Structure 1
Amino acid sequence: MSAELAFILLCLTSFITLINPLGVMPIFMTMMSDYDNQVIKATARKALLVSFVALLFFAITGQLLFKFFGISVNSFKIAGGVIFFFMGQDMLQARLVKTKVADTEVKKYVNDISITPLAIPMICGPGAITNSIVLMESAHNLLEKAILIISIAVICILTYYVLLNATRLTRLLGETGCNVLMRIMGLIVMVIAVEFFLGGLKPYLIDILSHQT
């Protein structure tokens, strides 16, 4: 297997796992269950566009940005873990199922949720951002850098089409099915949150303990 093909597989498999379109879908389904296809498309399109731009931005400037502000990837994991945990708690209690907004506020609502929480941190989360930074650092030439950018675009497009078909699953599952799926995914999100939090906290604990010995 050539180095380029191996890098393509690494980029695609890592991003599809970390972005997890099927994991985002239940939340998107419940948030947009009361809106027409035009609003759903606009929300999904903006969320994925913001996600792509954010991942591309961090891939190109991540290391420089973190050094400039004195931010570590571990700190980012801790913050992301806290956000994920409370999001998962809401999902576990099915609080996102009944999201109703007045017609005059639909545009504002779409703008709000398409950026947060859909784009950041659900689609473009700490894992995906960290992955984009690490893979860009691992790219040895312009071809591999281009492969990384194209891979991010491909996964974002795939996620977009998964979200567009979420309403069909909503009709298929019904309200009860959505509640059950939401609670299951909420539990999974909370587990992921704990992993992110502990993964970010572990280096700090090791550093503290090493200074005490």
Structure 2
Amino acid sequence: MDEIVAAAMDLADGEGIAAASLPKVAARIGVTTNALYRYVDSKEELVVLVADRAWGAAPELPADDWRAAATTWSQRLHERFIARPWLLDVPTTLPLTPHTAAWLDVLIVGLGPAGLPSNEVLYSAYLLDSHARYDANLRRNAPTPPALSVTHPDRRRAVRGFLDVQLRARGLDAVADVMRDPAFVGDATSPDGFEFGLARILDGIEAHVAGGRGR
């Protein structure tokens, strides 16, 4: 079984989770597809096993500081999605597996000092997980085309100028103004979007905790 999961993970790392099909895995380890059915019942079952291995061990979190724990957990989760973006394509409807359960467990423990009821702990986990997924997916789907690359400033300015005219012709001045901001287009160093969003989520949870939770 270990060889099967390892082969499937290699395929997923190289070509995405769709490539981790039973025929491809069988070919990778030199057996027939039918031979794999002695170990897994379907590709869906194989995906569960591969995804669980990809998650790996849950991170160690700071103790007695729920905000620091939530920050570290979210950062490690974001890093995991960046390292293995195919995890974003694994259905979120899959049941908890040993590793995903461990990730959730350490976050529940880490959020303990906040004193939130169980349902709000899970809601907070959902917010943090969703933010990490969304940002990682943006990074995956937003490669820098040559025309906009920082190595081609003249072409980048030309494209921005063209878009500016198009947006303003449609009365979309607010969007045009944002896109001309150096922090948006990358002409100047700007705060990391993931960290900014994470801090605002935690600010919201902190305000909720300070306000008496649920009032």
Provide TM-score, normalisation by structure 1.
Answer: 0.26
Provide TM-score, normalisation by structure 2.
Answer: 0.26
Task: Decide which structure has greater helix share.
Answer: 1
Q: Which has the higher contact order (CA 8 A, sep 6+)?
A: 1
